[in-house]
Structure 1
């Protein structure tokens, strides 16, 4: 698949996710087989560009090409200015966010709210493309969108055709409406219609949580690739599984505990180098809850909901959320894996306090 002057070898892409797809996470997904990854959305408001978060999002050191940055906003002039600003600082692709259903984004008339304001949406696209024209190396503009505002107003095909005529290089469609948020199931008929109508690449997104599902969605829609988001949280190897399935190669098995630990350590080390302490310690906590096995995630969910600690896992997690040192955080993670591996080797219940009391100590 071609995106401007960039060749995307595998049609397996990483979806932009706020608070998740930072540089360490994007690089991890690339190591596991993703060919393309989009940054978490960056604000188009210049007043926010000097913040610590924005400066971190502008750090693309060592990142494989093409570097794709997603912008969110509802002002064509600001979006154009933000596109130039990011391209000057290493962005090689600019993605326009017209898919985020979050209330705080839509309240600003940005994200998926733009699908209900077609003239404004097209002015933004036109302004961004014009802002990036005549550069030494072309910067493709892509758009991530939903099927429409609601089921009665699925206008994705109409908008996508207009955007293609303006010069957009690729369209990503999440198979839900803004009204759905992330509820219900994604539908793919709209994606099939968009792909049939366009000449540029069209990428399918929404509920793609396995290699088999990815292959089925591509077969059904005819899309050029798949974009995976929430399903890969704590499962970066999902990209390798999808790539193997699409290439007709032997299946990529789910990793064992040792392999999971090794993948987590690579991510942890990169994350800490990028953020430092204590910011990195705090921001990695969510990844721990995604990586660790289901019984720990259940305990974490109970803890977050304010339920009393009833077993060792909940007590351990209470202690974990008070850790502010990366060294201590990794010790906790190592102990969790030691406990799990010990339980696995003994073919016993790994959640037994008898085996794992050291974590809560």
Structure 2
């Protein structure tokens, strides 16, 4: 297949890692890029928090050479504040600036940001124009199908973003009110793809190599974004790449799975310190247990992780069972 790109940024492959709050930290982004992700994006960063020089937000934007190309995702509902946040983010030399207009979480959409922007098309244009005006890297936007079934406007929003200077749009095929439950509407993604000239990235329930190809064919999109299905399964990116190229798919052994799990946690500890990392790891390692015998008990044990030594013990116990 021909190379894919977003603006002037060449992508490593056509399967991209979705930004996920509390998940896609530096350690996880590096891991997924090493396993074939075409691009990754940071956890979303609050534009208002950056205006107050939040140290936590600053840490979210640290990018290493291993994970490039990498974007920084910002969110907010004030054009000027978003522009300032983009300028601030550029200090970390991201390859892309991504604008979040799709997060359904009440604490985000309830304040007028994230998916709530789908209800304000004029403001969408103002925000994208403000951000693109101050960035010398490609600006992308992540949106949803709409706010609810009575206001499906992904096509309109995508066209507004394109006119305002966005170089790519990611579309999650559910409304904000649907969150992540009902089946994804791939038809709306196809309609968006037909309505704009810039690349459209299909997002939602891409959980296998076969599904990735099916989604690309159904939507006419050349790119897919993988989110929750990659948890504990970074090999999914390589599998998608292999399937699209007609090559044999690789599936890890139990030992390879557990070694990768341990490696991810070790990096988290290196980057964040043991106390914070181990508490965050409790929910991030459970994906590795999918399909394993006694998975429920393993998930329960993972919920008690408190020291790096605990993950080593857990690995050895699983291998010796």
TM range (shorter): over 0.9
- What pairs up with 1:134-149 in 2 under 5 angstroms? 138-149=136-147
Q: Contact 1:49–1:55 (CA<8 Å) still a contact in 2?
A: no
Does 2:9 align with 1:11? no
Of the candidates 180, 183, 196, which is equivalent to residue 185 of structure 1? 183
After superposition, the Cα gap between the structure-2 partners of 1:99 and 1:277, relative to the gap in structure 1 and judged at 3 Å, is same
Count of residue correspondences = 317
The separation in 2 between residues aligned to 1:321 and 1:12, in whole angstroms, is 30
Q: Contact 1:173–1:203 (CA<8 Å) still a contact in 2?
A: yes
After superposition, the Cα gap between the structure-2 partners of 1:275 and 1:179, relative to the gap in structure 1 and judged at 3 Å, is same
Q: Give the C-alpha shift of residue 190 in structure 1.
A: 0.7
Does 2:223 align with 1:225? yes
Of stretches 283-292 and 142-151 in structure 1, the one that deviates more from structure 2 is: 283-292
The separation in 1 between residues aligned to 2:61 and 2:219, in whole angstroms, is 35
- What pairs up with 1:41-190 in 2 under 5 angstroms? 41-46=44-49, 50-132=53-135, 138-190=136-188
Does 2:309 align with 1:324? no
Q: Give the C-alpha shift of residue 196 in structure 1.
A: 1.2
Q: Give the C-alpha shift of residue 61 in structure 1.
A: 2.9
SS in 2 for 1:179: helix
Q: Give the C-alpha shift of residue 322 in structure 1.
A: 4.4
Q: Give the C-alpha shift of residue 150 in structure 1.
A: 1.4
Q: Contact 2:75–2:100 (CA<8 Å) still a contact in 1?
A: yes
Which runs of 5 or more residues in structure 1 are unaligned? 133-137, 302-313, 340-361
Alignment partner, residue 279 of structure 2: 282
The separation in 1 between residues aligned to 2:263 and 2:151, in whole angstroms, is 44
Q: Give the C-alpha shift of residue 298 in structure 1.
A: 2.6
The separation in 1 between residues aligned to 2:161 and 2:281, in whole angstroms, is 37
SS in 1 for 2:141: strand
SS in 2 for 1:145: strand
CA deviations over 1:64-115 (Å, ceiling 9, x no partner): 3222011111111111000000012222211000111111111110001100
SS in 2 for 1:86: helix
SS in 2 for 1:278: helix
Which runs of 5 or more residues in structure 2 are unaligned? none
The separation in 1 between residues aligned to 2:9 and 2:109, in whole angstroms, is 32
CA deviations over 1:156-180 (Å, ceiling 9, x no partner): 1111112111211100000101111
- What pairs up with 1:201-240 in 2 under 5 angstroms? 201-240=199-238
Of the candidates 242, 257, 267, which is equivalent to residue 240 of structure 2? 242
Instruction: Please report the TM-score for the alignment, with normalisation by the length of structure 2.
Output: 0.93
The separation in 1 between residues aligned to 2:150 and 2:304, in whole angstroms, is 48
The separation in 2 between residues aligned to 1:172 and 1:107, in whole angstroms, is 22
Does 2:269 align with 1:272? yes
Does 2:199 align with 1:195? no
Q: Give the C-alpha shift of residue 49 in structure 1.
A: 5.5
Superposition CA RMSD, Å: 1.7
Instruction: Please report the TM-score for the alignment, with normalisation by the length of structure 1.
Output: 0.83
